[in-house]
Amino acid sequence: MSWFILVVSGVFEAVWATALGRSDGLSRLWPTVVFFSALVVSMGGLAWSMRDLPTGTAYAVWVAVAAVCTVAWAMTTGEEPVTALRILFLTVIIGGVIGLKLVS
């Protein structure tokens, strides 16, 4: 269950990172509300999962999931270009997360 919560928390980190970018320095109401809400959920899930998982592993997975989701969303919406190298390196990050799970 800790791994599931950790991955979901990573997705919420991607949500708050995206919302923060769209908030124009926390000056737009709804992106700011989404930012703070997703931040609380993301940090809470990370903290909860760290009760069972080592800190380094939990943090690395949390950041990796968020990074992949944030870039994937930006590529899906056209904010960032889709290239073979980007997809390759995102795949490498995902492989690292799977590796951390396997050795835990």
Report d(CA 15, CA 21) in Å as an integer. 10
Torsion of CA 61, 64, 66, 71, to 10 degrees: -160
Q: The pTM is what?
A: 0.92
Confidence of residue 68 (pLDDT cuts 50, 70, 90): very high
Report d(CA 86, CA 100) in Å as an integer. 21
- Report, as an integer, the average pLDDT of 44-71: 97
For 30-57, how does the pLDDT look when each residue is reduced to its tens digit (9 = 90+)? 999 999 999 999 999 999 999 999 999 9
Q: With DSSP H G I counted as helix, E B as strand and the rest as coil, what are the percentages for the chain, rounded to 5?
A: 80, 0, 20
What are the residue ranges spanned by the domains of the chain?
2-103
Confidence of residue 104 (pLDDT cuts 50, 70, 90): confident
